[in-house]
Amino acid sequence: MNFDYIKPNTLTDALEYLEKENAMVLAGGTDVVVNLKSGKINPSFLIDIKGLKELKGIEKIDGGIFIGALTTVDEIKNSPLLSRYRALVEGAGVLGCLEIRYRATIGGNICNGSPSADTVPGLLVYNAKVEIISKNGSRIIPLENF
């Protein structure tokens, strides 16, 4: 394993680093670390976004609830704001073991594309949308089209 570890302080900086060839995001790390160790992935740059506050949290907004990509699965499972979204909360509650739920993020669970993405069916039931951000701007699309 030979890669540059980068921990940006802002989302703008993170997006710039992600333009580098063979860059990979590290958030919760529950899949990335396993895949690094097994040799399944070999990034040139590992961009650690865990500290980006604007990608964290659960809050009520007009028309629904915002869940930041860095929000942990455990936070989703235990959020009073999400208690009425039973399919999502139950999916979060069965994802991995407790230690994994403390580290795994909803963004990683969605973006990993794994058939075992336990939060995705619940999000689809409630017609969730995702915001896709790049250095060129952002757009919001239905999760089912992501």
CATH of residue 67? 3.30.465.10
How many domains is the chain built from? 2
Q: What's the whole-number average pLDDT of the chain?
A: 93
Q: Please check whether residues 139 and 79 belong to one and the same domain.
A: yes
Segment 113-128 shows an average pLDDT of 89
Same domain, 66 and 34: no
Q: What is the pLDDT of residues 7-30, one digit of tens each?
A: 999 999 999 999 999 999 999 888
CATH of the domain at 40: 3.30.43.10
| Same domain assignment for residues 24 and 67 | no
- Do residues 42 and 60 share a domain? no
Structural domain containing residue 61:
53-145
Give residue 31's pLDDT band: very low, low, confident or very high (50, 70, 90): confident
Same-domain check for residues 70 and 32 = no
Q: How confident is the model at residue 115 (pLDDT cuts 50, 70, 90)?
A: confident
77 lies in the same domain as 60: yes
Q: Is the same domain home to 65 and 130?
A: yes
Q: What is the mean pLDDT of residues 27-45?
A: 91
Dihedral sign from CA coordinates of 99, 117, 131, 4: positive
The confidence score (pLDDT) of residue 112 equals 83
Q: What is the pLDDT of residue 117?
A: 86
Do residues 61 and 15 both lie within one domain? no
Residues 68 and 93 grouped into a single domain: yes
Average pLDDT for residues 49-71, to the nearest whole number?
95
Tell me the pTM.
0.90
Q: How do residues 69-102 score in pLDDT, each as one tens digit?
A: 999 999 999 999 999 999 999 999 999 889 999 9
